[in-house]
Amino acid sequence: MRPMRKLRPVATVNESLKRYNVAADSFCNSFYHCNVPEMIIDLPSDEAFMREALRQAQKAYEVDEVPVGAIVVRAGKIIGRAYNQIELLKDATAHAEMLALTQAEASVGDWRLTDCDLYVTKEPCVMCAGALVHVRVRRVVFGCADLQSGGGGGIMNLLQHPALNHHCDISSGVLQNECAAILQDFFRKKRGRTGDTAASAGEDRH
Ligand SMILES: [Zn+2]
């Protein structure tokens, strides 16, 4: 009889972060294409969760919304997932983060998300950063930075503002090249269709 293989323990957030430094590309890309609607992920790595956020961003891309995706994770399980739906809902507040937070609140049955982490492909804007503080998210993980409208250090750090009563931990740069590439590709195509001026005007309104 073959000896039973030792199970890999579920990593803590800190262990996960350490692993990010040494094994950033070690995850199978097939995760990105998985269609299981409510999967529980055994390896709670930042890369794996960001790939799910990227999958949401891809959905936005396919329906001509600015491709930003977000998920909320609690105890290793995804309890909220969304992509930008501003055009679909005709609602400027329908950012991926806001929609994912609303789902997570419904899942938890409370507005407090103190034991939840949010993953988003682009640095949250100031509206979303404010919402993340309001619901007391534990950690915000984002892919690419947004130096024009970011509320996680881009134009200001609302997530850790000293005057506010809650501060979120921040991890940035997770899969940042992929997160930035889908946005760049989207706006490149938009420029091709509508001309530079119109596309540029809407570039960072997601
Ligand atoms: Zn936002």
Express each pLDDT in 74-132 by its tens digit: 999 999 999 999 999 999 999 999 999 999 999 999 999 999 999 999 999 999 999 99
Question: What radius of gyration do the chain's Cα atoms show?
Answer: 17
Ligand 1 center from residue 146 Cα (angstroms) = 11
How many angstroms is it from 109 CA to the middle of ligand 1?
A: 23
Number of residues assigned to the chain: 206
Query: Residue 17 — φ and ψ, nearest 5°?
Result: -65, -40
Write out pLDDT tens, residues 60-79: 999 999 999 999 999 999 99
Contact 83, 96 (CB under 8 A): yes
- Say how many Å lie between the CA of residue 199 and the centre of ligand 1: 18
- The structure's pTM equals 0.75
How many angstroms separate the CA atoms of 9 and 16, rounded?
11
Is 97 catalytic? The answer is yes
Measured CA to CA, the distance from residue 81 to residue 52 in angstroms comes to 8
Return the half-sphere exposure (C-beta side, CA atoms, 13 A cut-off) of residue 191.
11
Q: Which of 47, 52, 65, 97 is catalytic?
A: 97
Q: Helix 96-108 to helix 126-134 angle, to the nearest 10 degrees?
A: 10
Residue 10 exposure: Cα atoms within 13 Å on the Cβ side: 7
